[in-house]
Each structure stands twice: as structure tokens, then as C-alpha cells.
């Protein structure tokens, strides 16, 4: 049962949309341009040595051809394979001969037939195999034999078959002595080698997956996105025109570097795109490559980090080498704070050799740019404040471009981009929709359009209507409705809780208008009150922030006033009120006792910044004072306007949901027209934390 309010304002970027084929600008392929453009050196290999050399005499161990060592390695492998194969084949053949019968003379064979000692025989051509009934002595030798092999002379004229039948021998149709033969030995001797090769192939594939498929460590090379397949251009990026103007200079340099080189200018080696999630930093980088018609290398910083130290640095070297081969090109590293965090200071936690080696390699590669290669490094981060100073100094990332969330006009432009392929009904007003979505980023708006289209598809409509957009917006901001049957007493208490939020929101001068009040359970909340500003806000004064705290405590104050109880439904209200009060006292200098000082950092322990325990104790006391004053003010206002509170509760119990016009009419409070904007804080105050829906009370 919480109070929804203005989402936190921040940087913007839109999601990618396929641009029409005629939206691309033609690449300059004039003869003069082709002569000046460096040809891609696709057969060039990265240096085998991990260092660079300058001014060395000709012929000094440079980047020599490494085909000879590689050829010798393959030759050695083939020789060892043939040797092993010959050894196995010889062993199997010898086994055949050793396991076969004794070779005897034909005369000895006839003697055994006449003696009636032959059990069975098998003949293939003139070769005869057989087995004796009783072992016989080896002629002219020691020992006995039972199985034998002999050759019948071609000139023999005896009737051998009659003699065998007379002696009772069996003429068999199958060989008496099992022999594999030469072909079988060839195949059998090959089987162990094939198994060994299969095992090494499996091991090789496993290692390549382990190391991320990178060259030199069991994988393939990173391939750039083909510029002809990059269909994202600046036409697909809306709402951040000032950022596009900053980036367009890079596009112009990649298209026509001679224009800048004539006046001694060089392109920035690196450009850092900083902003909240969903503001379109990745899309902007892709659009930059699409506008310039150059290869685009993209990688997440987390892909460089592996368990084994040195792998990340090797990947960085390979990535930059590949980009140089096809220059002009763009390298984009997303979430660079994963490897670019400060290596010393209050934010440094422990050490990570692999991360630091990867960062050092990136710094080294960027130092190696002369500005004439035509390789530009773009990086994106949500946390520019935690990056290492060595990464941000001029000569590496020369520029930091803040990508902020869009204003109202920007949101309307973004909605027009994302609804290009969505059939809209005649009643859809994208400008009005942009006014009702303050604080939303490009990713949020893309999700809103998709949710509205899904809603229309579920209904079987062929066009997306305004009601589809409103239902999708309600689902995103308030959560999906739940089918929960609440007891009458708890339902009534929920109505008082939400009515307290709504009434105080309408009574506070300069507060955000109440857009909707509902006691239908949504998400984790049993009820919601939605308030959003008429226009975008960029700074907040103390009166507005105190009004936010009073409104957040309205539900708790109403329950205490009517039922004289405090329930778990106030948990999220107290969290939001405390967060705003702590920022007022510890960050924004809105406490006379603490003074105009910053006590509480964005993250980390304030004691690491030298803040004393006594000062922190003072901050805690001031936070409690602010919240208690706001709570007493909330109770006073509700007591004075008890009739309006009861009217809202009665309407909620009857209708469950009240829209903006309905709730103001029921309370009998005229709709305030927004006047002068609240005064902005010096230095640009951060927006007040959003009051989200509270969790369902614990059972």
C-alpha cells in the first residue's frame, strides 16, 4: 500500500531500430579517397613478441614469418602418427602369426591323415588349416602341436578328400584358426589413434569454451560487425540531440580525416558514454559506426576477465590488433567499470591481478595510438565515478559524454521511433503519452510500446489504442493486478491507508498531482497511490521534499488516526521517508544543526572519508527529527480534513479504483495548476528517491 511518485530523473538513450535502406549516407568512395584510405592488411599477423620496437636496424628480429616453426610442428605430428600406426600394425600382425597353427610339411600332414589323427580341416586354395585329435610331436623339433597349416603342392595327384573321409576327418566350411587378416589389422591399429585424436579434439573444444574462444587460447578471432549489416543510424536514436551532436564529430573524422589533419587536429582516442541503464549508450555506439560506415568491434568488459591471469590482456591485444587491420574502425567496450575501477582509494576493495593487468593493457594500447590509425574507442558505464583516473586522463578517454534520460520532447521523439512499425489507432496522442511518462528512459519507452502491442494482440485488435497504452503503463508502474480476496476489515484498512496517501498529496502545496488511487492488489502491494509531476523536475527544494515525506507517511498516519494501530503495510513508506530525510540532512545541507556539509557518500562507509562518530550521531538525530515533524504534520492534516478522508475511503470501497478527476471530485479539492518550479539546489541536486509500492503485510 504505497505511494507512487516521480521516477528518478537520469540520462537517456533509445533502443535500436532497423533503419530503412535509403537512410544510410553513402560512403565516400572517390578515387582520391580510396588512394588515401589505408588498405586493410588482412594477412598481417600480430607481433609474436609482447613489446614494441622503434628505430631498430633492418633485419633485427622483427615480425618475421612464423610459418617455418609451424610447418615443423605439423611435420613432427605426422611423423609421430605414422610411427605409432606402424608399431600397432606390426604388433597385431605378429600376434596373428604367433597365435596361429604350426606350419608343417605336406608329408607330415598326409602321415597324420593316414594315422587317423586329423579331427577337421579347412582349405582356401592350396592352403590347408587343420586340427589334430591328439597332440603330435613336432617333426625335427621339440614340443607338440595341435593346430597346423600346410600347403598342398599343385602337382599332387592323390585323392585327399577320399583319404580325409576314410579317416573320419571333418571338412569344415569355416576357418579352423581365427585370423583377422591384413585389412582388419589396418583398421584395428587405426582405432586407438582415432580415439586419441577424438579425446584431444574434445579437450581442445573444452579449453576454447573455457577461454571464451579467443585466439591464442583455443578460440577464433573476434570479427567486426560488417558495416553493410549495421542498420542502426542516428535516425534510430531520438531524444538526445545534444549527445548526437557531440558524437557526430567522430563520425565526420572517420569519414574525412584529412579535413582535420590539415589544421593539425586529431580525433579523440577514446570517448566515454556515461549514464543510467537504458539510456541507449550501446545503441548510440552502434549508430556511430553505422553513420560512419566503418567496422564495429563490440565486447563487454566482463568478457575479458577469466580465472587465469593474463587471458584478459591477451584478448585486449587481439581486439586492438584486429581493429587496426581494418581501420578506420570503432571499438566499443560496454560496462567498462568492470575492469576500469580505481586501483586505489576508498572504493578499492582488495586486489585483482587479472583485472588490473587487463586495465593496464587497455591503457597501453590506447597510448599506442598516434591519432592517425583511424581507430576510435567508445566505452559505456553506469558508474563513471568509480573509474580509475588513469583511464580518464586526456590522451586516453579524452571526452566524457553524459547520456541523460529524455525530456518530454525527447520522449515523444523516442515513442515515434518505436511506433514506426506499430499500427496506432486515431485516438493515440504520443505527445500526451510523453507527458505522462516523466523519468522514463528509451528502454522503458520501448518496453511500454511493446506491452501495449501485446495487450492489443491479446484482445484481438489490429490497432493499438490509447487504452492499451494506459493499461501497459499501469502494469509497468504499478504491477500486474492480483486475484486476492482480502477480508473486509483488511480491505477497509487498506482503503484508509491509500486515502491517507492521496489526501495529503492533494493538500500539499506544490506537490505532484495524484493520478490514480486503487485498493486492487498489484505486484507486492495491497494498494497503490500514483503521483507524477506535470513536467520534468531537475531540482527539489526543502518544502517539496518535506511534502514527499508527509505524503509517504500519510498511510501510516491514517491507520493510527482511525484504528490506533501501525501495520506492516507502512514498511516501504518508512524506507522511502527515511531515505529522503537522510539525503536532506547528510547530502543536501538541509539541516541547520549539521550545516552545509556532505556527510553521507553515495556508497561506502562515511568513516572512510574521515566523518566522526559524533557527526554521524548528529545526522541520525536530525533524520529522526525531520521524520517525526513530518509525521505529526501528516496526522494534523488528516485530523483537520477527516471528512475528506472518509469520502475518499467510501468511494474506494465502492469502486476500488479512482482516476485523477474522480479522486479530486470526491475529496472536494480543486485541481491545483502548477505554478513556479521549485528552486534548484546548488550544484544540481539529485532527484528525491522514488517512493515505490510497499510489500504485502507479513502474515
Which residues does the annotation mark as catalytic?
498
The answer to whether 449 and 238 have CB atoms below 8 angstroms apart is no
Map residue 119 onto helix, strand or coil: strand
Residue 591, sorted as left (phi over 0), alpha (psi -120 to 50) or beta, turns out to be beta
The answer to whether 580 and 689 have CB atoms below 8 angstroms apart is yes
Q: How far is residue 570's CA from residue 549's CA, in Å, rounded to a whole number?
A: 13
Q: How far is residue 227's CA from residue 285's CA, in Å, rounded to a whole number?
A: 13
Indicate the pairing of strand 127-137 with strand 296-300.
Answer: unpaired
Contacts of 506 (CB under 8 A, 6+ apart): 514, 663, 664, 667, 669
The continuous run of DSSP H or E covering 564 comes out as none
Q: How far is residue 639's CA from residue 643's CA, in Å, rounded to a whole number?
A: 9
The answer to whether 690 and 533 have CB atoms below 8 angstroms apart is no
**β-bridge mates for residue 528, sequence order:** 2, 518
Q: How far is residue 334's CA from residue 338's CA, in Å, rounded to a whole number?
A: 9
The CA distances from residue 638 to 15, 211, 630, 635, 662, in Å, are: 45, 64, 12, 5, 20
Phi, psi of 578 (to 5 degrees): -65, -40
The crossing angle, in degrees rounded to 10, of helices 488-507 and 660-667 is: 90
Cα–chain-centroid distance for residue 547? 40
The answer to whether 127 and 174 have CB atoms below 8 angstroms apart is no
DSSP state for residue 203 in the 8-state scheme: H
The residue among 245, 342, 330 whose CA lies nearest residue 282 is 330
Longest dimension (CA), the chain: 137
Contacts of 169 (CB under 8 A, 6+ apart): 113, 118, 119, 120, 121, 130
The CA distances from residue 23 to 20, 176, 248, 640, in Å, are: 5, 83, 16, 62
3-state secondary structure 144-195: EEEEEEEECCCCCCCCHHHHHHHHCCEECCCCCCCCCHHHHHHHHHHHHHHH
The C-alpha angle with vertex 281 and arms to 278 and 284, in degrees rounded to 5, equals 125
DSSP state for residue 367 in the 8-state scheme: H
DSSP state for residue 239 in the 8-state scheme: S
Cis omega before residue 328 (within 30°)?
yes
Q: How many CB atoms lie within 10 A of CB 111?
A: 14
The answer to whether 169 and 120 have CB atoms below 8 angstroms apart is yes
Amino acid at each position: 500500500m504505497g505511494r507512487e511518485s516521480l521516477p528518478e530523473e537520469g540520462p537517456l538513450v533509445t533502443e535500436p531500430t532497423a533503419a530503412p535502406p535509403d537512410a544510410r549516407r553513402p560512403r565516400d568512395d572517390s578515387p582520391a579517397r580510396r588512394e588515401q584510405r589505408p588498405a586493410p592488411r588482412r594477412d598481417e599477423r600480430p607481433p609474436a613478441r609482447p613489446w614494441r620496437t622503434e628505430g631498430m636496424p633492418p633485419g633485427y628480429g622483427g615480425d618475421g614469418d612464423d610459418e617455418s616453426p609451424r610447418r615443423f610442428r605439423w611435420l613432427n605430428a605426422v611423423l609421430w602418427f605414422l610411427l605409432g600406426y606402424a608399431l600397432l600394425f606390426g604388433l597385431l600382425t605378429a600376434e596373428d602369426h604367433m597365435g596361429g597353427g604350426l606350419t608343417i610339411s605336406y608329408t607330415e600332414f598326409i602321415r597324420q591323415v593316414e594315422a587317423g589323427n586329423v579331427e577337421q580341416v579347412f582349405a582356401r586354395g592350396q592352403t590347408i588349416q587343420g586340427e589334430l585329435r591328439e597332440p603330435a610331436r613336432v617333426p625335427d623339433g621339440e614340443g607338440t602341436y595341435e593346430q597346423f597349416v600346410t600347403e598342398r603342392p599343385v602337382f599332387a595327384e592323390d585323392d585327399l578328400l577320399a583319404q580325409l573321409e576314410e579317416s573320419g576327418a571333418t571338412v569344415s566350411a569355416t576357418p579352423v584358426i581365427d585370423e583377422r587378416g591384413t585389412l582388419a589389422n589396418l583398421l584395428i591399429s587405426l582405432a586407438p589413434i582415432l580415439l586419441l585424436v577424438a579425446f584431444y579434439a574434445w579437450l581442445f573444444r573444452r579449453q576454447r569454451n573455457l577461454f571464451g574462444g579467443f585466439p591464442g587460447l583455443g578460440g577464433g578471432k573476434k570479427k567486426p560487425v560488417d558495416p553493410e549489416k549495421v542498420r542502426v543510424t542516428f535516425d534510430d536514436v531520438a531524444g538526445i540531440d545534444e549527445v548526437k551532436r557531440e558524437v557526430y564529430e567522430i563520425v565526420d573524422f572517420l569519414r574525412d580525416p584529412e579535413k582535420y589533419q590539415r589544421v593539425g587536429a586529431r580525433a579523440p582516442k577514446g570517448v566515454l558514454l556515461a549514464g543510467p541503464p537504458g539510456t541507449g549508450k550501446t545503441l548510440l555506439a552502434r549508430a556511430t559506426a553505422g553513420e560512419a560506415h566503418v567496422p564495429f568491434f563490440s565486447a563487454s568488459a566482463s568478457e575479458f576477465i577469466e580465472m587465469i591471469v593474463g587471458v584478459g590482456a591477451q584478448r585486449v591485444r587481439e581486439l586492438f590488433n584486429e581493429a587496426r587491420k581494418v581501420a578506420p574502425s570503432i571499438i566499443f567496450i560496454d560496462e567498462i567499470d568492470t575492469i576500469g575501477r580505481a586501483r586505489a582509494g576508498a572504493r578499492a576493495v582488495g586486489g585483482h591481478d587479472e583485472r588490473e593487468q587487463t586495465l593496464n593493457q587497455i591503457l597501453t594500447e590506447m597510448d599506442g595510438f598516434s591519432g592517425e590509425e583511424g581507430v576510435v574507442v567508445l566505452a559505456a558505464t553506469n558508474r563513471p565515478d568509480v573509474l580509475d583516473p588513469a583511464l580518464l586522463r586526456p590522451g586516453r578517454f579524452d571526452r566524457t559524454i553524459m547520456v541523460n534520460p529524455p525530456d518530454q520532447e525527447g520522449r515523444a521523439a523516442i515513442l515515434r521511433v518505436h511506433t514506426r512499425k506499430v499500427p496506432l489507432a486515431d485516438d493515440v496522442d504520443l505527445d500526451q503519452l510523453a507527458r505522462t511518462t516523466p523519468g522514463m528512459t528509451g528502454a522503458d519507452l520501448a518496453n511500454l510500446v511493446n506491452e501495449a502491442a501485446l495487450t492489443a494482440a491479446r484482445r484481438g485488435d489490429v490497432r493499438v489504442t490509447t487504452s492499451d497504452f494506459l493499461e501497459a503503463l499501469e502494469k509497468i508502474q504499478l504491477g500486474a493486478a492480483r486475484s486476492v480476496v482480502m477480508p473486509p476489515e483488511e480491505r477497509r484498512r487498506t482503503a484508509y491507508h491509500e486515502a491517507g496517501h492521496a489526501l495529503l498529496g492533494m493538500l500539499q502545496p506544490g506537490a505532484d498531482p495524484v493520478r490514480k488511487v486503487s485498493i486492487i492488489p498489484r505486484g507486492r502491494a495491497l494498494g497503490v497511490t500514483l503521483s507524477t509531476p506535470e513536467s520534468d523536475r531537475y531540482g527539489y527544494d526543502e518544502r517539496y521534499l518535506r511534502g514527499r515525506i508527509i505524503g509517504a507517511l500519510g498511510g501510516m498516519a491514517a491507520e493510527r488516526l482511525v484504528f490506533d494501530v501501525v501495520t506492516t503495510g507502512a514498511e516501504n513508506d518508512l524506507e522511502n521517508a527515511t531515505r529522503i530525510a537522510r539525503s536532506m540532512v547528510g547530502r543536501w545541507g538541509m539541516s541547520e544543526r549539521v550545516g552545509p556539509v556532505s556527510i553521507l557518500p553515495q556508497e561506502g562507509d562515511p568513516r572512510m572519508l574521515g566523518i566522526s562518530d559524533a557527526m554521524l550521531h548528529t545526522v541520525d538525530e536530525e533524520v529522526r527529527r525531520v521524520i517525526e515533524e513530518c509525521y505529526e504534520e501528516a496526522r494534523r492534516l488528516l485530523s483537520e480534513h477527516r471528512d475528506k478522508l472518509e469520502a475518499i475511503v467510501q468511494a474506494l470501497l465502492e469502486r476500488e479504483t479512482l482516476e485523477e478527476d474522480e479522486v479530486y471530485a470526491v475529496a472536494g479539492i480543486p485541481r491545483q495548476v502548477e505554478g513556479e518550479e521549485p528552486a534548484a539546489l546548488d550544484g544540481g541536486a539529485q532527484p528525491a528517491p522514488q517512493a515505490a509500492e510497499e510489500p504485502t503485510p507479513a502474515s
